[in-house]
Structure 1
Amino acid sequence: MISNISTTKTNAKRFLLDFQLLNDSKTPSNKNESELALNIIRNLECIQLDPIAAVERNHHLVLQARQPNYRVEILEKLISNRHLFEYVANAACIIPIEDFPKFKIIQDFYINTIHTSTQSLNEIMEKVMDQMMKSEPLPSRALKSDKIVKGYWDNAKPTTKETTLALNILFDLGKITVAKRNGNEKFYTATENHVPKSFLNERSNISINDSKEALIRKYMKAYRIFDFEDPRFGWFKTTAKERIAIRDKLLHQGIVIPVDIKNVKRQYYILTEDVEKLETSDEYTDCSTVKFLPPLDNLLWRRSRIEDLFNFSYKWEIYFPESKREFGYYAMPILYGDKLIGRIDPKYLRKSNILQIKLLQIESHIKIDSKLLNELRKALKQFAVFHKAKNIVIETTSPKSLIKKISI
């Protein structure tokens, strides 16, 4: 068994950015648009969904940061063509279809924990399933019901439409899935209509223990540099004692190896198969372009790792009262090479086709030279093109002098 290995923050960052496909030289380019987007999702293991639409939604922004010419229609087509499915991973995520069997442990969790009061919905759930089996994918609005019930997310009083709760339960149980998206509208169908039979059979035959191990491995491949302090290590709830047991087993099997990162107190780990890539990461030429990362980008999932490796503190202020926001409602970190250098708070004004930059902020220790200014301009123009915006309006910058230098 290999003992601890040591590395620097720079090596660790470049290694991580390579796997996150945020280094342009590591993003495959010899594929058509759909193949490239699918390849990105497979490399990342999954991408997180979010309905917030200050600009384009998170899942599209994740792909646009890695595929500059990406269009939202590409992802929608990949879903309807049965290359992807939606389920719970880091949160609600889009996942490669071949990984469907690995999530049996999550489905089993819902089978055992969904409140027994939902048994009163058996009749409506049967009706919904009957529709899902026989028809084309349906949006929730197509399921008519005026009956209000108490959803398992409701607090004091019932506020949930009966069919909405039925859809959520059936989705959590893996009986239905999203087969089509039109913008933010989801169209559901029976899982067996969307997931190829071979993967359904694999899901039926896989044991809960094998499902757990497969999901842990998928988690580790998604993070690449990880710690065992995450209470959702493996994307299912664990206690500290359980995580220690998982860690010790992985170490004993030689699957993972501890990594000591210079000037970082937290103990990190990588897959043993990645050791050579980590040790040679300083040989790679890191990307020097500017990229705007959405708040739920894969790189940002573990905030403590961002602070440890990038010396950058990031909080998504969307749920803060406006008076307590420092950087804005939808502030997105700015990646420049292997550094997080600031934030941009964008809003797309759809009626006027204007990309409004409410704040463009660069950290005080970052040197703002002509190269950085050029890369910022390029990234802003590319971001505007992606949103089909006709104009870019920058309202405020930090430092204040930046607004005169960044004119577009």
Structure 2
Amino acid sequence: MSETLSIQEAQKLVLLSHNLPPSQQKGKAIEHTLSSIENLGYIQIDTISTVQRAHHHTLWSRNPKYQNSHLEELVAKKKVFEYWSHAAAYLPMKDYKYSLPRKNALLTGAQKHWFKKDIELMKSVMNRIDKEGPLMAKDFVHKEKVREWGSKPAKQALENLYMQGELMISYRKNFHKVYDLTERVLPEGIDRSVPTQQEYLRYLIKSYLRANGIGQAAEISYLLKNTKPFITKALNEMHSSGELLLVTVNGSGYYTFPQSLTLLNKPLNKAKLKILSPFDNLLIQRKRMQILFDYDYQIECYIPEKKRKYGYFSLPILWNGKLMARMDCKADRKTSILHINHLALEEGVKDRAAFAIALCNELKGFTQFNNCSEIQVHKTSPSDFKTDLQGMLK
């Protein structure tokens, strides 16, 4: 028999596992940044800078004292490293060994990278970095014009060497990757043993459930090719041994740790509003958000402008324990203005005045986080909410 959770209990368990909204914190801010990365398992890196980039935004959502310099400092201290999760990401250095299955698969050819391997060029690139130290793609001369990102031969060689584990990112310079030999980037004493398949599967399961509270095989194996059957088997084994519980939410089964259910005894700060990144770990699986939070979300920067309903880069808004709105905005760094191009409320927002107060409180910090000092509201849905919001922002 599985235990039944109401949808409200499931939502609460998910949010508390994500530390959203964040609980009160003591100690150094950078320590909370590291603990957030270790709890979530990864922080997705994204290049879009309409507002602060996703990796900064996701961490700021969980650590109000977050500084953009934290990631650079943690990389320098060898506490986190860059590699691939379901996308480019910052990962906890303590989990380094679990990046090795993918690296080895790419090294041996069991898994294909999107760039073809030029073995001689790769050897040449490795030799230069070995002798000269860390280098960027632009340090390799290429005379011919190329159109596509990453299509310069040296860039392809660097990325192949990076993905198969022979190079790592030692730091970034103006957001450009700086590559170095793996042995010069890794800290002393780091575990470099390749996990067994069973160890790797258990790591995937435990990492996902720690960060997300509850999960299914399809969610845990998200964008990991050919892993779902093995994840399913491992979940069944962990459930049979009592390591995991199977709970029912709206008729569907989810796995969780027995101790995770104690989170339901903790309060959730529903009054606190959080403006989230489209690439936040909470939201990255859109189907899951629709099922558990009844929130149909799509980032629209990748679709033609005429087909956009909410705007280029709408940010999900968490309030009252639910995803209650989305806000398309842009930070104009030259004028220090945060433009709210379109704020759209969900039908579930009954107390618009309370929502407006919570939003204005959060916008103060969000505006500063985006290096802006002024807010301009251009459009809201419903349209009459614009007047209410503008009045409170004055």
**What whole-Å deviation, never above 9, does each CA across 1:129-180 have from its counterpart, x for those lacking one?**
2233344432221222336899xxx8xxx98111111011011101111121
Aligned length: 389
* CA displacement at 1:22 relative to structure 2: 0.8
* CA displacement at 1:197 relative to structure 2: 3.1
Stretches of structure 1 that go unaligned for 5 or more consecutive residues are: none
- Secondary structure, in 3 states, of the residue corresponding to 2:235? helix
* CA displacement at 1:302 relative to structure 2: 2.1
* Residue 313 (structure 2) aligned to one of 312, 318, 330: 330
- Secondary structure, in 3 states, of the residue corresponding to 1:371? helix
In 2, Cα distance between equivalents of 1:148 and 1:123: 21
Which position in structure 2 is the counterpart of 1:38?
34
What is the identity percentage for the equivalent residue pairs of Structure 1 and Structure 2?
28
**What whole-Å deviation, never above 9, does each CA across 1:293-327 have from its counterpart, x for those lacking one?**
10110111222221222221111111111111111
* CA displacement at 1:80 relative to structure 2: 2.1
Q: Which amino acid aligns with 2:127?
A: D
* Residue 252 (structure 2) aligned to one of 250, 262, 266: 266
Contact 1:14-1:286 at 8 Å conserved across structures: no
Q: TM-score, normalised by structure 2?
A: 0.91
In 2, Cα distance between equivalents of 1:159 and 1:283: 47
Q: How does 1:21-32 map to 2 (within 5 A)?
A: 21-25=19-23, 29-32=25-28
* Residue 244 (structure 1) aligned to one of 224, 228, 232: 232
* CA displacement at 1:183 relative to structure 2: 4.5
Contact 1:103-1:215 at 8 Å conserved across structures: no
Given the superposition, is the C-alpha separation of residues 338 and 293 from structure 1 closer, same or farther in structure 2, using an over 3 Å criterion? same
Q: Which amino acid aligns with 1:309?
A: L
Q: How does 1:144-293 map to 2 (within 5 A)?
A: 144-146=141-143, 160-199=151-190, 202-204=191-193, 206-230=195-219, 233=221, 236-238=224-226, 241-261=229-249, 264-277=250-263, 281-293=264-276
- Secondary structure, in 3 states, of the residue corresponding to 2:363? helix
In 2, Cα distance between equivalents of 1:138 and 1:287: 47
- Secondary structure, in 3 states, of the residue corresponding to 1:299? coil
- Secondary structure, in 3 states, of the residue corresponding to 2:301? helix
Contact 1:82-1:179 at 8 Å conserved across structures: no
Given the superposition, is the C-alpha separation of residues 306 and 402 from structure 1 closer, same or farther in structure 2, using an over 3 Å criterion? same
Contact 1:171-1:177 at 8 Å conserved across structures: yes
**What whole-Å deviation, never above 9, does each CA across 1:266-304 have from its counterpart, x for those lacking one?**
322112342333xxx154243421111101101112222
Given the superposition, is the C-alpha separation of residues 117 and 54 from structure 1 closer, same or farther in structure 2, using an over 3 Å criterion? closer
Given the superposition, is the C-alpha separation of residues 81 and 147 from structure 1 closer, same or farther in structure 2, using an over 3 Å criterion? farther
Q: Which amino acid aligns with 1:138?
A: L
* CA displacement at 1:328 relative to structure 2: 0.9
- Secondary structure, in 3 states, of the residue corresponding to 2:160? helix
Contact 2:129-2:181 at 8 Å conserved across structures: yes
- Secondary structure, in 3 states, of the residue corresponding to 2:178? strand
Contact 1:345-1:358 at 8 Å conserved across structures: yes
Given the superposition, is the C-alpha separation of residues 323 and 145 from structure 1 closer, same or farther in structure 2, using an over 3 Å criterion? same
* CA displacement at 1:205 relative to structure 2: 5.3
Q: Which amino acid aligns with 2:255?
A: Y
Q: TM-score, normalised by structure 1?
A: 0.88
Q: How well do the aligned residues superpose, as a CA RMSD in angstroms?
A: 2.5
Q: How does 1:1-400 map to 2 (within 5 A)?
A: 3-25=1-23, 29-111=25-107, 112-114=110-112, 118-119=116-117, 121-146=118-143, 160-199=151-190, 202-204=191-193, 206-230=195-219, 233=221, 236-238=224-226, 241-261=229-249, 264-277=250-263, 281-400=264-383
Given the superposition, is the C-alpha separation of residues 108 and 219 from structure 1 closer, same or farther in structure 2, using an over 3 Å criterion? farther
Mean alpha-carbon deviation: is it higher for 325-334 or for 6-15?
6-15
In 2, Cα distance between equivalents of 1:159 and 1:296: 23
Stretches of structure 2 that go unaligned for 5 or more consecutive residues are: none
In 2, Cα distance between equivalents of 1:5 and 1:314: 29
In 2, Cα distance between equivalents of 1:17 and 1:245: 27
Q: Which amino acid aligns with 2:354?
A: K
